[in-house]
Amino acid sequence: MRKRLKTLLIKTKRQVFSEMIGNNPSLFHGEGYDFSELREYQVGDDIRKIDWTITAKLQKPYVKLFHEERELSIVCACVMGGSLYFGTHRIKQEVVAEVAAIVGYSSAKNGDLFTGATVNRKEVWVERPTKRLFGVNRFVEKVDGMPVIGVSSDYKEGLRQLFRRIKRRSILFVVGDFLAPVDLGLLSKRHEVIAVIVRDRFEEHPRPLGQVHLVDPETGETLQTHFGERSVAKYRAQIIASDKALFSHLHKHRIRFVKVYTDEDPFGRLVKLFGGRV
């Protein structure tokens, strides 16, 4: 195992097993079937848990809380492609691997079943479910070391194939840069989907570079061009439009999401997503 990957796994394991807050904390909240309590709606609560009958009577939104299931099915699906081989701080592929480690270790700590999966245009690969740290380490090592140059990511057909492979209702983390068109609607009908968007800040806020030689890491196509102020403005408009469509799609299907940049700590971002409870 490479020294950098060992360091990443040690750091992530320490964060998950040493820095968690409270008794039996977890990233994951089960659906459960045993009613626990009724309380007033708080910012960040899942609107699907609102009790509309009580809300109408009391004229305030109330949510039903349930005891968590004792064993959840956690799936981390990493959408792999050449676009991940980019980064000004560190490459996005390393961040994707770290997110997979956080999800895997959190699952193991809580005694839940963890399934790792990789998705691209050529294949969907799914690990056997595990509760062992060894299984998590093996999956993270695969994600971190997977050759992605010349590989196209697939957020449509690849994820439809994943839907057919993952039968049990799960909490499904889809991790990738989401630069290609996305369709998570089918997955969200069976699973609780959470999108983790991994980006480099330069991708969203590039600066003029002048004359450049560009290479598409997915197709290998090259382009000689002048990347000046006008090109930057055109590119920025495309990114903004693409992200607007992405966020609209996620909101439509009630999918929670978080964006993690290559110069950030993914653990902190995931803690914030889950309201400070990991």
DSSP assignments along 161-202, one per residue: HHHHH--S--EEEEEE---S----HHHHHHSEEEEEEEE-HH
Task: State mean pLDDT over 87-91.
Answer: 93
Among the ranges given (38-47, 121-130, 135-144, 170-179), the one the predictor scored with the smallest mean pLDDT = 38-47
Contact 107, 20 (CB under 8 A): no
Q: Is residue 29 part of a domain?
A: no
Among the ranges given (32-46, 100-114, 143-157, 198-212), the one the predictor scored with the smallest mean pLDDT = 32-46
Count of structural domains, the chain: 2
84 plus 103 within the same structural domain: yes
Token look-up 């963890």 returns: 114
44 plus 124 within the same structural domain: no
pLDDT, tens only, 248-267: 999 999 999 999 999 999 99
49 plus 162 within the same structural domain: no
The two structure tokens encoding residue 96:
């994707």
In this predicted structure, the answer to whether residue 76 has a pLDDT above a threshold of 60 is yes
CA dihedral sign, ordered 57, 63, 64, 65: negative
Q: Is residue 54 part of a domain?
A: yes
pLDDT of residue 55: 86
Q: Is residue 258 part of a domain?
A: yes
**Looking at residue 50, what DSSP letter applies?**
B
Domain span including residue 43: 35-66
Q: Is residue 116 part of a domain?
A: yes
Q: With bands split at pLDDT 50, 70 and 90, how would you rate the model's confidence at 236?
A: very high
pLDDT of residue 171: 93
Task: State mean pLDDT over 135-139.
Answer: 95
Domain of 229, CATH number, reads: 3.40.50.410
Closest C-alpha to 152, from 222, 220, 249, 245: 220
Closest C-alpha to 78, from 182, 135, 154, 165: 154
231 plus 264 within the same structural domain: yes
pLDDT of residue 218: 86
d(CA 71, CA 107): 10
pLDDT of residue 28: 57
pLDDT, tens only, 12-42: 988 888 865 543 445 555 444 455 678 888 8
The per-residue pLDDT of the chain, averaged, comes to: 87
59 plus 150 within the same structural domain: no
pLDDT, tens only, 171-219: 999 999 999 989 999 999 999 999 999 999 999 999 998 998 888 888 8
pLDDT of residue 33: 47
Task: State mean pLDDT over 116-134.
Answer: 92
pLDDT of residue 53: 86
pLDDT of residue 66: 66
By DSSP bridging, strand 256-261 and strand 124-126 are unpaired
Closest C-alpha to 131, from 114, 118, 149, 106: 114
199 plus 219 within the same structural domain: yes
d(CA 61, CA 52): 7
Long-range contacts, stretch 186-194, CB < 8 angstroms, 24+ apart? 186/159, 186/160, 187/159, 187/162, 187/163, 188/253, 188/254, 188/255, 190/163, 190/166, 191/75, 191/166, 192/31, 193/253, 193/255, 194/255, 194/256, 194/257, 194/258, 194/273
103 plus 237 within the same structural domain: yes
39 plus 144 within the same structural domain: no
The two structure tokens encoding residue 112:
């839940």
pLDDT of residue 25: 45
Q: Is residue 28 part of a domain?
A: no
d(CA 183, CA 253): 10
**Looking at residue 60, what DSSP letter applies?**
S
